[in-house]
Amino acid sequence: MQPRTLPAFAALSALLSPPLYAQPASEIRPAVDVTFQTEAGKYYQLQTSTNLAGDNWEDVGLAVEGTGESLSELFPVNAQKQFYRVVELQDQWALVWADEFDGDELDLSKWGKEENNYGGGNNEHQHYSVNEKYAYVEDGKLHIAVYRDPYTSNDGKTQPYSSARLRTLQRGDWKYGRFEFSAKVPGGEGIWPAIWMMPSENVYGIWAASGEIDILESKGNYTDRTYGTIHFGESWPNNTYTGTEYYLPEGTFDDGFHTYAIEWWPDRIEWHVDDVKYQTLTKDQWYSAAAPGSETAPFDEYFHLIINVAVNGGFFNGTGQNANNLPDSAFPQVFEVDYARVYQWAE
């Protein structure tokens, strides 16, 4: 279905008035002030074109969710593309949040760094550090690097490895949507990269009563497969989980970048790799002990994103894998993420 174009925005010209204060020419940015009436729950996209005929409209920025009020936004303008319009998106995914990891530093308005020396509750062997050495942006990609750097906290706890864990808590969280990533995993034994989601508030109780959604997990040198899982039920140790692994038809996941995504709906969660849907879990396959009458709990609250690399721990039980077997020359082990994108469904 074609999006509906708001009539008031067939075309808008750039405002090219001179700045009030002198500044270097490279910092001057013409802009257009766009005002449009919205409907609550609908999504709107600003588009630009070099001609009014409308055969080459391109999206500008992210989609905006309507509130029922008139919205005014100040948008940057490409001087060669002087025509603008706003369209109401319908029957499609609307891009509402993204990090393309361009530039040369991590965007701390989107990601917080966690400091933690206690093994993630899973007897892991890494210290999560806020040092830029372990999480940095370079060549248009996020890098999370694991080093054999021991760290001892003030209470005397020592971990033999150092890594990073990033999260969007208090910066971005969502209920339902499509969450998509392009990533390349490391392949060292005992190395555990993951992209996952946790509830921003423990409405149904502490882990895992309020749920957990694992979008990507890679199990060390088992790089021919990836894992998609949910955790739910009751608080630990009475929690449970379900999920499956997906085997790559050719090659391994550490050979290059692959696209990982979930599509999270009120009644189901679907997992995709490179546009192949490999798993669907429905509301009949999860439950909440704290909300026995609910058909959707605990996966009906706001969740935030987490990206990290752990080392060793219970995830590797029965595999014989241990990062201690790796030579020093195998470090750093690096998890690379090319982009992170969040979409909401525009009805």
Question: Token pair for residue 54?
Answer: 């409308």
Question: Is domain 98-346 given the CATH code 3.40.50.720 in the classification?
Answer: no
* Structure confidence at residue 6 (pLDDT): 54
Looking at residue 36, its pLDDT comes to: 83
Contact 161, 127 (CB under 8 A): yes
Q: Is 212 labeled as catalytic in the residue annotation?
A: yes
The answer to whether residues 253 and 234 touch, using CB atoms and an 8 Å cutoff, is no
Residue-wise pLDDT for 230-253, tens only, equals 999 999 999 999 999 999 999 999
Q: Which residues belong to CATH 2.60.120.200 in the chain?
A: 98-346
pLDDT tens digits along 304-339: 999 999 999 999 999 999 999 999 999 999 999 999
Q: With pLDDT > 90 as the criterion, what percentage of the chain qualifies?
A: 80
Active site residue 336: no
Tell whether the model's pLDDT for residue 201 goes beyond 50.
Answer: yes
Average of per-residue pLDDT across 1-13:
45
Q: Exposed, middle or buried, 327 (CB in 10 Å: 0-12/13-18/19+)?
A: exposed
Catalytic residue among 124, 180, 189, 212: 212
pTM above 0.85, yes or no: yes
Least reliable range by pLDDT among 47-61, 94-108, 147-161? 47-61
Question: Is the model more confident about 35 or about 327?
Answer: 327
Catalytic residue, from 124, 180, 189, 217: name it.
217
CA pair distance 290, 124, nearest whole angstrom: 29
Amino acid 100: pLDDT: 98
pLDDT at 86 over 80: yes
